[in-house]
Amino acid sequence: MNCNRARELLANYRDIQKERAAILPELDAHLEVCSACRQIQQQSDFIGASVRSLPTLSSAPEAHAKLMRALAAEHTRYIQRATSSELSTPTPAFLKPYLKDIVAEEKHLEPLTTFSSAETGPLPVIPITRKRPRLARMGPTTIVGIAAAVLMLIMAGGISSLVLMAQMNNGKPAIGGEQANVTRGASLSVANIAVQTSYPHVVSALADRNTMYFSAYQDGSDPAWMLEQVHLNTNNDASITPIPLLDKPTTSNVYLLENVQNWLIWLQLDKPKTTTGKPLDTQNSSLTRTWSLDALYVGSGDTKANKNDLPGEKNEASANQPITLLKGLYDQNTVPAWINSPLQGTSTYQNNLLVSWLDNQGTSHLTRYQLDAQQVPTSEELAHVNAGHVLASPTASSDGRSIYWGEEWATNDNILHSNIWQSQEEEAAPEHGRWAPHIETVRSLFKNDEASFHPHVVGDTLFMLSTLPLDAPNQTNKPSPIITTGSQTPVASLTPSAAKSTPVLTPSVTTGQDETPITQPTQAPLIAKSDPNAYPLQADAMIQGTLFGYQLSDTTLAPQQFGDEGQSMALQGGNRFLLWQNKNKSINMFDVLTNNQVGVGTQIPANTLFLSIHGDTAVWLIPPDSNANTTQPANTVTFKTFNWPTKIVSPNN
């Protein structure tokens, strides 16, 4: 089932559940794997619950009498205008008492009206001289129908107004330059998941409400790495045994990145290569190593992606076996000195994967992959940039019509800069030679202040960090966009002005003998997405700034500020919430749908090793020596996790 069909069915989800329609299992299966459709369902549930919680509307006691009198007056005028042949139908019985009242109050009414309201029914009528223009004729049934429709519209308008006011108060963040004033909501409900594995050193993990995946390695002279899967509905056991996802362990480092539509995505880094025959010192030498971006379909059924038909890939892969989306050679000599990885960010929407990566020559690319279990994955380049500039942190709206990413570079003074680009799909007006309306992709600079980092879309809000002070003149002014359309690709200026930016980072630099200087960022008090001891942090990961949110419906409005000035870092987002870290390593959480801050408190401790978010679920790990349970079996790893919202409310509840 695709998203279009699922969203048609969601409109009648309550009826489908009540009737236990045959399509229900297929629809529920799609909702489990599609975060975009699940978000639409949650929004529908929220609106439905809001409507059902409204007080029952009742009309005023005198409303019915006023309506009947109005209908009686209209019927009186109808009788006066009609001919005798049109009055063969008796006056409706429910109007007769009100016609009598009108006769009693208005003694000047013509006798014809009085006779028509008598108990014997209408009498033959003598045509009278009409004193007003002849109007269109309507029968009694039509009149009653129109009046009833007007009443229904009035009642529906009242309900709609109440729902809109509820949405305005509880739904989306208010827009304005002021700091967000939000009501603290419910706290998290954290669960422990004990997993017994022979690969005890976990470096990355992803989870949803039903399943958790993690990458880990075991000790040895040549450490062995493995991807493993855990079904969370078995967590009643004292310790869960995971399922390996690779045919055999690998000696390459494995870092989980994304899980989209049952496709598991990870980065695989091979051992560093050296030409000197001596062990490579990664702290003082240039890194040269092969890498690949791999995918594995973990859903039920076979996949037809049996052959890597992507450029440069010719190897065969059997059903439900890993396939290679992208591979290359990472050479420290060709990339900027502050870069530590060939990948600079990933994100997903629907069945699409966005990846920013560096090729062998140091050119940075933004590529979109479309993943389908029944088709070979396809790729499309959205942007590229070179000469020391790097594309990073791609993100997109749930429908993919708005895509954002950062463009980063460092100046000679070791100061990191960044602008934000956007790609928008818009309905273009008909033009000469092309009369039919069509969709046009427009790419432009969204923020060119050289101090905006880490764009992240959650719901209908675009979040980002700014390293400018709040009183900077260009903080709230959107720059004039540089428009590129069609097949053109935005290429950054090669000589950015350093005078506009505020210094945000001065990383330490270590230099080996006869080697290119390498920027090695010092360890920051940061909770990373992967274990920083295994996957080194990059310079931009430690950026601290002021967190702002822009409404996607109108990004020209002044942004909303979250948290204290210059204290926020390490943004991560789910389907409806954003998690970020303060400079002191405490965690903040904001629910975009309800416009509420969520209480985290000490649920996520400062010594957390890594934390990652996927959809509705966050999972993290704390160092084993800090676990309170010292009696757990050997090689047992205890994960921490929470779902938000804690429970998805069924439409029948």
**What pLDDT is attached to residue 57?**
67
| DSSP reduced 3-state for 114 | helix
Q: Which residue has the higher pLDDT, 286 or 103?
A: 103
Residue 386 has pLDDT above 70, yes or no: yes
**What spatial distance separates the first Cα and last Cα of the chain, rounded to whole Å?**
26
E strand or H helix at 31: helix 24-33
Residue 609 has pLDDT above 60, yes or no: yes
Q: Which amino acid is at 66?
A: K
Read off the tokens for 325: 């989306």
E strands, 411-517, where?
Answer: 416-428, 438-447, 452-458, 461-466, 484-485, 509-510
Q: Report the chain's mean pLDDT, rounded to a whole number.
A: 75
Dump pLDDT digits (tens) for 2-24. 787 777 777 777 777 666 667 77
Closest listed residue to residue 538, CA positions, set 521, 560, 518: 521
- The band of 405, judged by pLDDT with boundaries at 50, 70 and 90, is very high
Percent of all residues in the chain with a pLDDT value above 70, rounded to a whole number: 67
What is the C-alpha to C-alpha distance for residues 126 and 112, in angstroms, rounded to an integer? 8
**What pLDDT is attached to residue 88?**
54
Q: What is the DSSP string of 537-574?
A: PPGGGG--BEEEEEETT-TTSPPEEESSTT-EEEEEE-
Dump pLDDT digits (tens) for 28-60. 788 777 888 888 878 887 777 777 777 776 667
- The band of 632, judged by pLDDT with boundaries at 50, 70 and 90, is low
Domain boundaries, the chain: 1-53, 63-149, 183-429+437-643
**What pLDDT is attached to residue 639?**
93
Q: Which range, 305-309, 487-491, 588-592, has the best average confidence (pLDDT)?
A: 588-592
Residue 307 has pLDDT above 50, yes or no: no
- The band of 416, judged by pLDDT with boundaries at 50, 70 and 90, is very high
Task: State mean pLDDT over 515-531.
Answer: 57
pTM of the model: 0.65
Q: Which amino acid is at 76?
A: T
- The band of 631, judged by pLDDT with boundaries at 50, 70 and 90, is low
- The band of 486, judged by pLDDT with boundaries at 50, 70 and 90, is very low
E strand or H helix at 213: strand 211-218
Task: State mean pLDDT over 634-648.
Answer: 84
Q: Which residue has the higher pLDDT, 53 or 218?
A: 218
Residue 271: CB atoms within 10 Å: 12
Place of tokens 């939000």: 182
Task: State mean pLDDT over 219-234.
Answer: 85
**What pLDDT is attached to residue 237?**
60
Instruction: Give one word for 20, left, alpha or beta, with left for phi > 0 and alpha for psi -120 to 50.
Output: left
Task: State mean pLDDT over 607-626.
Answer: 87
| SS3 track for 356-401 | EEECCCCCEEEEEEEEECCEEEEEEEEEEECCCCEEEEEEECCCCC
Read off the tokens for 377: 């994955």
Question: Which strands form 636-643's sheet, in the order they lie side by side?
Answer: 191-196, 636-643, 617-621, 610-614
Q: Which amino acid is at 171?
A: G
CA distances from 244 to 234, 250, 298, 316, 425 (A): 16, 12, 12, 21, 41
Q: Which residue has the higher pLDDT, 245 or 130?
A: 245
Q: Beta partners for 192?
A: 640
**What pLDDT is attached to residue 346?**
95
Rg over CA atoms, the chain: 33
CB 261 within 8 Å of CB 34: yes
E strand or H helix at 166: helix 140-170
CB 549 within 8 Å of CB 427: no
209-218, 234-243, 247-256: least confident range:
234-243
Dump pLDDT digits (tens) for 532-557. 888 888 888 889 999 999 999 887 88
Give the Cα-Cα-Cα angle 305, 306, 308 (nearest 5 degrees).
Answer: 80
CA distances from 198 to 195, 238, 552 (A): 10, 16, 46
Closest listed residue to residue 419, CA positions, set 469, 383, 454, 395: 454
Residue 104 has pLDDT above 70, yes or no: no
231-245, 263-277, 469-483, 569-583: least confident range:
469-483
Task: State mean pLDDT over 340-356.
Answer: 94
Instruction: Give one word for 615, left, alpha or beta, with left for phi > 0 and alpha for psi -120 to 50.
Output: left
Read off the tokens for 580: 């970020």
Residue 258 has pLDDT above 90, yes or no: yes
Q: Which residue has the higher pLDDT, 647 or 3?
A: 3
Residue 161 has pLDDT above 50, yes or no: yes
